[in-house]
A and B are shown apart, each in its own frame.
Chain A
Amino acid sequence: MLAAEAELKSLMVAGLAGDKRAYRVLLTALGQLLRRYYSRRVGPDDAEDLVQDALIAIHTRRATYDADQPFTPWLYAIARYKLLDLLRRKRVRATIPLDDAGDLFAEDESEAALARRDLDVLLAELPLPTQTLIRQVKIDGLSMQEAAARAGRSEIAVRVGIHRGLKTLSDKLRGKEHREDG
């Protein structure tokens, strides 16, 4: 563990300085560590979602790593935060009061009716830029680069936007409307 700490930390410091090669090695290693961490704690589907969530969080919030501090506690604090976030969302879902139980039964139907549901109605639940991106890439067949160029955003922003958007949609279909709550 100590050897891993020193190695990961030096990769992270190099990544923060803009070294892409080191950063790719780092993310790949972190992907494995996170997969091990999550697969012990949740089911395989949730585990891979969490690995991706955590990697995106590590990337977008990498400025919060203080190079004077050890790296692995920072890593696992993020991993743990994402895990608790998921568990809380599930708990919220599991404790819907009886009054709302009608929604619970409606969920089954909505999952079966996935194919019938109007795509426009579904997409309308997302922010407009995300809708446009998903239409362009997933329906009109544009590449990520093309969609990024049209939107004037970076390719990663587009990728992450689409990933997030699709995830939100599938959550909604599965009845996770309480995602944004408490």
Chain B
Amino acid sequence: MKTDDLISALTETLAPVPRYAALLWLVEGIGAGALVSFVAMWTWLGVRPDLATAMTTSAGWMKFGYTLALALFAFWATERLARPSASARAAIAGAIAVFAVLFAFASMKLMMAPPAARMPMIMGSSAQVCPWRIVILSLPIFAGTFWSLRKLAPTRLALAGGVAGFASGALGAWVYAFHCDESAAPFLLVFYTFGIAIVGAAGSLIAGRVLRW
């Protein structure tokens, strides 16, 4: 086809694009995924019975706060990386800062605890299942996010995929926090972050195939 014909064809079917179309696509994909993930958590694992009590403690808030803050910064970075030439530096720095705060807090808690209590604070009672449940609950969000990203235009595929996977993992971990009854910061730091990082690595690995355009 001649390039001039192509230009004519593209022009003929031009439709207006709403101002926030790209952002809305992302929110749609993430939102639909999060909904499925929440229903899955509810039917498969169930919300912890003492959720109302847990929310009166700082430990309860810390889990929701950490995961949600990570998710927000990482999704912001995803939105940036979905656009050619946009910079995601500030957003990624935000996510790193969230991790650093929990790292400092958990280290402090460990140092203050008697040595014999340290290992239990890290391992909790669900270390074996926690990261995998987070991975599973992240899958719908992961699928929704990548579905959205395929319509956008990431140019650094491995980075965009990794950040999008990390964001999906963080939101999946937030959903899991409704079930999980662990309360120690070191556990959260190690096993929540591990689960989230697995999803991020998966996103980075498949990005070259899935996100190409």
Do A55 and B7 have beta carbons less than 8 Å apart? yes
- The answer for the CA separation of A154 and B9 in the assembled complex, in Å, is 10
A162 (CB) vs chain B CBs: closest residue: B1
Do A66 and B208 have beta carbons less than 8 Å apart? no
**Which label, helix, strand, loop or mixed, suits the secondary structure of the A interface?**
helix
Expressed in whole angstroms, the minimum distance between the Cβ of B51 and any Cβ of chain A is 39
Do B213 and A57 have beta carbons less than 8 Å apart? yes
Do B152 and A64 have beta carbons less than 8 Å apart? yes
Expressed in whole angstroms, the minimum distance between the Cβ of A92 and any Cβ of chain B is 11
Q: Which residues of B lie under 8 Å from residue A51 when comparing CB positions?
A: 3
Do B6 and A64 have beta carbons less than 8 Å apart? no
Query: Which of A2-10, A76-84, A102-110 participates in binding chain B?
Result: A76-84
Expressed in whole angstroms, the minimum distance between the Cβ of A81 and any Cβ of chain B is 4
Of A16, A31, A73, the contact of B17 (CB 8 Å cutoff): A16
Of A15, A20, A23, A77, the contact of B84 (CB 8 Å cutoff): A77
Of B3, B7, B86, the contact of A24 (CB 8 Å cutoff): B7
Do A61 and B7 have beta carbons less than 8 Å apart? no
Do B208 and A182 have beta carbons less than 8 Å apart? yes
Of A18, A48, A62, A69, the contact of B3 (CB 8 Å cutoff): A48
A179 (CB) vs chain B CBs: closest residue: B212
1/0 contact trace for B142-179 toward A, CB 8 Å? 00000000011101000000000000000000000000
Do A85 and B212 have beta carbons less than 8 Å apart? yes
**Which label, helix, strand, loop or mixed, suits the secondary structure of the B interface?**
loop
Expressed in whole angstroms, the minimum distance between the Cβ of A20 and any Cβ of chain B is 5
1/0 contact trace for A66-106 toward B, CB 8 Å? 11010001101110110001000000000000000000000
B50 proximal to A (CB < 8 A): no
Of A27, A62, A154, the contact of B13 (CB 8 Å cutoff): A154
- The answer for the CA separation of A182 and B83 in the assembled complex, in Å, is 21
Do A55 and B6 have beta carbons less than 8 Å apart? yes
- The answer for the CA separation of A41 and B52 in the assembled complex, in Å, is 63
Q: Which residues of A lie under 8 Å from residue B11 when comparing CB positions?
A: 20, 23-24, 27
A111 proximal to B (CB < 8 A): no
- The answer for the CA separation of A64 and B21 in the assembled complex, in Å, is 8
Most central of B1, B21, B208, B209 by chain A CB within 10 Å: B1
Of A20, A61, A69, A74, the contact of B14 (CB 8 Å cutoff): A20
Using a CB-CB cutoff of 8 Å, which residues 78-104 of chain B contact chain A?
A: 82-86
Do A77 and B85 have beta carbons less than 8 Å apart? yes
1/0 contact trace for B13-40 toward A, CB 8 Å? 1111101011001000000000000000
Known contacts A15-B14, A16-B16, A77-B155; A63 and B9 CB within 8 A of each other: no
Of A16, A56, A64, the contact of B83 (CB 8 Å cutoff): A64
1/0 contact trace for A134-158 toward B, CB 8 Å? 0000000000000000000011100
Do A66 and B9 have beta carbons less than 8 Å apart? no
Most central of A15, A67, A76, A156 by chain B CB within 10 Å: A156
Do A31 and B7 have beta carbons less than 8 Å apart? yes
1/0 contact trace for A20-45 toward B, CB 8 Å? 10011001100100000000000000
Of B3, B13, B25, B209, the contact of A52 (CB 8 Å cutoff): B3
Expressed in whole angstroms, the minimum distance between the Cβ of B65 and any Cβ of chain A is 29
Q: Which residues of A lie under 8 Å from residue B129 when comparing CB positions?
A: none
A84 (CB) vs chain B CBs: closest residue: B155
State the A residues within 8 Å of B (CB): 15-18, 20, 23-24, 27-28, 31, 48, 51-52, 55-57, 59, 61-67, 69, 73-74, 76-78, 80-81, 85, 154-156, 159-160, 163, 180, 182
Q: What would be 8 A-B contacts, judged by CB atoms less than 8 Å apart?
A: A15-B14, A27-B11, A55-B6, A56-B10, A63-B22, A78-B84, A155-B9, A156-B13
